[in-house]
Each structure stands twice: as C-alpha cells, then as structure tokens.
Amino acid sequence: MTTTVRPTKKQRDLLRFIEGFITQHGYGPSYREIMGGCNYTSVATVSLHVNNLIKKGHLRKGDNKARSLEIAASPEGGESAKIRSSAVKESEEKWLVEKIDYKFRQLENSENIDGVELDGLYVLVGSLKVLGLDGAAHSFMPRLSELKTKSKQLTR
C-alpha cells in the first residue's frame, strides 16, 4: 500500500475546491476558476500548487486537455485519495505537538533564555513544517516571536 504526502493547508483548500467543483459541474475547473474560487492573485500560483499536488499523487491531469483535473483515486478504490502522511500518524502528531509545547512552556517560564535553547525551538518548529504539519508549526510562531523579543530584552 502506498501512502501520499500530506498537502499543505493551501493545497488542501485547493483540493476541496476542485472536488466541490467537479461534484457540482461534472468536470474539472479551469486554472482561472481555481484562482477566483481560492482567492489567488495569479494563475501561476494555481499552476504551482496543481503541479505540486500532481507530484504528491493527489491530483491527475489529462495530457493537453482542458478541464481534465481530477482527484486521484485512493489505492483502496475510494472516490478520492485520503490525505495521509507517511511520516507522522495523527496520534503521533498530537504527542509531538504536546512535547514541543512542553519545551516552549519551560523556556517561557525561565528567567534566562539561552540562545541555544531558542535555536532548538526554531529547529523543532521547522521540523513540523518538514513533516507537513504546517498548521501546528504556524501555531507556535507567535510564541517563538515573543520568546525572541524576551531574549533580546534580557540581553540588554
């Protein structure tokens, strides 16, 4: 059984739009319709996301055919591909986020913020992005900024 790489939040939104459009109209949307439906500002951005989703195995496109986008069928024969990550299962994602949150709380409660510890948090947040957990990574960014500001204030 093959697994597909989890798409980013924007790519998931694009997949939902395409799936809804196909359900409603019976054919795939044009890039301009995707641009309008997903509030993108250029067709090039749509093309970039579509091509990445094709590479990840979430979309298929007929060669040189207009409106040929379709959601890739899952290996189990379902109508659309399940969005899964081969790197982190849902239960492991929760555990990982809790562990990173614990590290944040330790540093936030510390009177002295070591630059090495702060760099470690940057690495952990970056790792979430690499694993396709963009939402979780994004949720830590404000706290990371606050710690960086606090660190600068303490070193003055």
For position 63, which CATH number holds?
A: 1.10.10.10
In this structure, the dihedral spanned by the alpha carbons of residues 13, 19, 21 and 22, taken in order and rounded to 10 degrees, is 160
37-46, 54-63, 86-95, range with the lowest pLDDT: 86-95
- Are residues 60 and 117 located together in one domain of the fold? no
Mind listing the pLDDT tens digit for each residue in 140-153?
Answer: 999 999 998 888 88
- Are residues 50 and 94 located together in one domain of the fold? no
For residues 57 and 112, give the distance between their C-alpha atoms in angstroms, rounded to a whole number: 47
Confidence grade of residue 3 (pLDDT, cut at 50, 70, 90): low
- Are residues 54 and 98 located together in one domain of the fold? no
Q: Which two tokens stand for residue 49?
A: 């996301």
Number of structural domains found in the chain = 2
Mind listing the pLDDT tens digit for each residue in 87-110?
Answer: 567 788 889 999 999 999 999 998
Angle of helix 115-130 relative to helix 134-155, nearest 10 degrees, comes to: 170
For residues 110 and 150, give the distance between their C-alpha atoms in angstroms, rounded to a whole number: 11
Asked if the structure places residue 52 within a domain, the reply is yes
What domain range includes position 146?
A: 90-155
Q: Token pair 């994004």 is at which residue?
A: 138
For residues 121 and 139, give the distance between their C-alpha atoms in angstroms, rounded to a whole number: 13
Asked if the structure places residue 3 within a domain, the reply is no
Asked if the structure places residue 144 within a domain, the reply is yes
